[in-house]
Amino acid sequence: EQGTEEEEAAILLGASGWQMFRRVTLPNIRLGLIYGVLICNARAMGEFGAVSVVSGHIRGETTTVPLYVEMLYNEYNFAAAFAVASVLTLLALVTLLAKRRVEKLRHRASRERV
């Protein structure tokens, strides 16, 4: 748990709001922020049902990668659908590896604080 002592000390030492955010707050929330971005990325890549129902399948305006794979498949363009699905799978694996790396860093950082 992060308190406000470091931020208050930075302000008392003459740091501006932006300097305090960049040099104190951001380093303290960095791993959590990266983790949140990775989880949002994984969710966005895998979302199909709700987007399919709500979006209306307007090509070029509401198309996500999973919807694009479905469109290609429904147009019997199986090679392109497989290629796009493969790229999506690779992106998901990269996201998973990045998530594991951040979890290890967070675990290591929490052990160092104790």
Looking at the chain, the whole-number percentage of residues with pLDDT higher than 90 is 29
pLDDT in tens, 14-49: 999 999 999 999 888 888 898 888 888 888 777 777
2: tokens are 């992060």
Mean pLDDT value of segment 71-79:
94
- Cβ atoms of residues 101 and 34 within 8 Å: no
SS3 content of the chain, % helix, strand, coil (to 5): 80, 0, 20
Residue 62 is given by DSSP the state S
C-alpha 88: how far from chain center: 14
Mean pLDDT value of segment 76-104:
92
Residue 83: per-residue pLDDT? 97
- Cβ atoms of residues 14 and 24 within 8 Å: no
Q: At residue 16, what are phi and psi to the nearest 5 degrees?
A: -75, 170
- Cβ atoms of residues 98 and 27 within 8 Å: no
Residue 112: per-residue pLDDT? 76
**Is pTM beyond 0.75 here?**
no
pLDDT(62) > 70: yes
